[in-house]
Amino acid sequence: MPMFLPRFTIDQPSTLGEASRLLREYGEDGCVYAGGTELLLAMKKGGLRYGHLVDIKTVPGLDAVAQQDGAVRIGALATHMALERSSLVRSKLPIFAQVEARVANPRVRASGTLGGNLCFGEPHSDPATLLLCLEPTLRVTGADGSREVPLPVFMVGPYEVALEPGELLESVTVPLLGAHQRAAYRKFQLHEYPMLGLALVLDLDQRGAVTTSARVAIGSVSPTPRRSEAAEALLVGERGAVRGRLDEAANALADDADLLDDHEGSAEYKRHLIGVFLKQAFEEATADTSAASGGRGS
Amino acid sequence: MNGVAVEQEIEPQESLASFLRERLRLTGTKVSCDVQVCGACTVLVDGLPVSACTYLAYEARDRDVLTVEGLAPSDGELHPLQRAFLEDNAYQCGFCTSGMLLTAKSLLDTNPTATEEEIVEYMDGNLCRCTGYRPIVAAIKRVQGELA
Ligand SMILES: Cc1cc2nc3c(=O)[nH]c(=O)nc-3n(C[C@H](O)[C@H](O)[C@H](O)COP(=O)(O)OP(=O)(O)OC[C@H]3O[C@@H](n4cnc5c(N)ncnc54)[C@H](O)[C@@H]3O)c2cc1C
Ligand code: FES
Ligand code: FES
């Protein structure tokens, strides 16, 4: 049986300021409409109901992807497929392009945007999990101006983000990885969303034998994707020593994640998978330490 | 719409699938899961695949929409993918077929030399309950061979 969408109107603002004013005016009855891949589904299933969709795709330039100093600035409306195919992202942030290429299916990638992925607050987000380790800055714009928000502050809880009424996500600025940095991403997925995602970024010394600092995050198994300071501390040091502490680090990650038994698997199984993925990601990230560019992925 | 300009008034909440099937009577586009998972409703908008079941007809304004009805170059002549699907028996009930054809077209248009692994990964979002998928992959590879 086809499900039907309730009636709504669509506004076509030409600036972010106009979009913001419309959203303030509509209050609870209005919503940002980007690719619609989450929003329309939720409205069809009756979970969300809005009388007014504000289509921000009519605001020019919000999908731009450009290099900015030592970073890539990604407009909120850049689609997963555009990012997967962007020559800039592929050459400057290959790990990000690789992760984007494996989000959802091609149809969702062609319409779904990075901004929509982050603003929906879906705990099973691949980009959010990876980005936690890349430490981007989010630019949020409202009727009264713009502010910059770090990703961990933006992600408040499941399906909840730090946007005030009338505020929109404008762009995500992702610092480039340096020549001494390595990244890897692993995910396990049986259905439409990942069941576990694990991202790892290592800073290596000149010879590539010592980790001087580490960032590791897991997604899909906690209320929002998360990093673990305890696990990161265990990943710092000489390669052989770190290798010997990987089980301990995986347990620290799992401890910090509030694992649940659910239809996707038992907490024990998820803990086991975190251990397997952390080892794989570590080996991958340290495999080719002579190559000049960071960012390899699965 | 399949190369012909169409002018129609639509409701904002109307899906592209119901616009195609009910207003234009182009019933080659199928709706099955209705939640963007199965790919039966795949059509191409400006060359990119979308799930017509959960995509607003509104989005198609001023854009090129290709459905299975527009795939064959002329009456009596099939698209190479359609021919290959026939030769490899890449369908049984046929419900997934229009979506498979259009997804495969979008893949070959951007990555004509896709490896078998890339084909499987790209087609992964299109479900078939009949064929076991192997003939579908074979048909796509057959077309690659013809193009090479
Ligand atoms: C079948 C399916 C499979 C999926 N699989 C995966 C997967 O494997 N991995 C993964 O990470 N994700 C997955 N996703 C999620 C997918 O990435 C998102 O659906 C998509 O990126 C959302 O973007 P959108 O532009 O369609 O957002 P919309 O649906 O338009 O919006 C989503 C929400 O964000 C708000 N919003 C959107 N843009 C902005 C903005 N700029 N500012 C403020 N608010 C905004 C909207 O108001 C709405 O509440 C999947 C989704 C589907 C439907
Ligand atoms: S009917 Fe649209 S994806 Fe299944
Ligand atoms: S041929 Fe029957 S579903 Fe694919």
Assess whether A154 and A194 both reside in one domain.
no
CB atoms within 10 A of CB A14: 10
CATH 3.10.20.30 residue ranges in chain B? 16-70
Whether A187 and A229 map to the same domain: the answer is yes
Residue A160 CA to residue A154 CA, distance in Å, equals 9
Indicate the CATH number for domain B16-70. 3.10.20.30
CA distances from B57 to A38, A49, B8, B43, B125 (A): 17, 19, 10, 12, 22
The pLDDT value given to residue A143: 87
CATH fold for domain B80-147: DNA polymerase; domain 1 (1.10.150)
In this predicted structure, what is the pLDDT of residue A191? 84
Number of structural domains found in chain A? 3
| A40 vs B54: CA distance, rounded Å | 6
The answer to whether position A4 is within a domain reads no
Distance B122 CA to ligand 1 centre (A): 19
Residue A3 belongs to a domain:
no
- Owning domain of residue A20: 9-58
| Number of the ligand 2 atom closest to the C-alpha atom of B34 | 1
Of B12, B37, B103, the CB nearest to A106: B103
Distance from CA of B15 to the nearest CA of A (A): 8
Q: Given pLDDT bands bounded at 50, 70 and 90, which one contains residue A107?
A: very high
> Do A187 and A291 lie in a common domain?
yes
Q: How far is the CA of B127 from the centre of ligand 3 (A)?
A: 8
SS (H, E, C) chain A: CCCCCCCCEEECCCCHHHHHHHHHHHHHHEEEECCCCCHHHHHHCCCCCCCEEEEHHHCCCCCCEEEECCEEEEECCCEHHHHHHCHHHHHHCHHHHHHHCCCCCHHHHHHCEHHHHHHHCCCCCHHHHHHHHHCCEEEEEECCEEEEEEHHHHEEECCEECCCCCCEEEEEEEECCCCCEEEEEEEECCCCCCCEEEEEEEEECCCCCEEEEEEEEEECCCCCCEECHHHHHHCCEEHHHHHHCHHHHHHHHHHHCCCCCECCECHHHHHHHHHHHHHHHHHHHHHCCCCCCCCCCC
- Residue A13 within a domain: yes
Band of residue A2 on the pLDDT scale cut at 50, 70, 90: low
**pLDDT tens, position by position, A245-276:** 999 999 999 999 989 888 888 999 999 999 99
Report the predicted TM-score, pTM, of the whole model to 2 decimal places.
0.96
Closest ligand 1 atom to residue A56 Cα is: 41
Query: Are A241 and A270 found together in one domain?
Result: yes
Same-domain check for residues A25 and A75: no
Any bridge partners for residue A161, and if so which? Answer: A155
Q: pLDDT digits over A108-147, tens only?
A: 999 999 999 999 999 999 999 999 999 999 999 998 899 9
* CB contacts < 8 A (A, B): 72
Same domain, residue pair A204 and A270: yes
Q: A43 lies in a domain? A: yes
Whole-angstrom Cα distance, residue B70 to residue B7?
18
* Shared-domain flag, residues A141 and A111: yes
List ligand 3's pocket residues with C-beta within 6 A: B 91-97, 128-131
Task: Please check whether residue A69 lies inside any domain of the structure.
Answer: yes
pLDDT band at A298 (very low <50, low <70, confident <90, very high): very low
The residue out of A136, A159, A175 marking a domain boundary is A175
Partner-chain residue, chosen from B11, B15, B125, that has the shortest CB–CB distance to A107: B125
- Do A238 and A201 have their domain in common? yes
Residue A219 lies in a domain: yes
Please identify, among A158, A175, A192, the residue that sits at the C-terminal boundary of a domain. Answer: A175
- Span from the CA of A105 to the centroid of ligand 2 (angstroms): 12
Residues of B with a Cβ under 8 Å from any A Cβ are 11-13, 15, 17-18, 31, 34-37, 39, 42, 48-51, 53-56, 58-59, 103, 106-107, 110, 121-122, 124-126
Query: Which residues make up the CATH 1.10.150.120 domain(s) of chain B?
Result: 80-147
- What is the DSSP code (8-state) at residue B42? E
CATH label of the domain that carries residue A113: 3.30.465.10
Top residue of A55, A86, A90, A105 to mutate, by most chain B CBs within 10 Å, is A105
Is residue A113 assigned to a domain?
yes
CATH number at residue A34: 3.30.43.10
Shared domain for A209 and A247, answered yes or no, is: yes
Q: Which chain B residue has the Cα nearest residue A85?
A: B110
The reply to whether residue B15 touches residue A5, judged by beta carbons under 8 angstroms, is: yes
Last residue of one domain, picked from the residues A128, A158, A175 = A175
Counting runs of H as helices and runs of E as strands, what totals does chain B give? 5, 3
Do A98 and A142 fall into the same domain? yes
B49 and A107 within 8 Å at the Cβ level: the answer is yes
User: Does any domain span residue A202?
Assistant: yes
Say yes or no: A36 and A93 in one domain: no
Atom of ligand 2 minimally distant from the CA of B52: 2
- Closest ligand 2 atom, CA of B38? 4
What is the token pair recorded at A143? 């009727």
Does residue A44 share a domain with residue A14?
Answer: yes
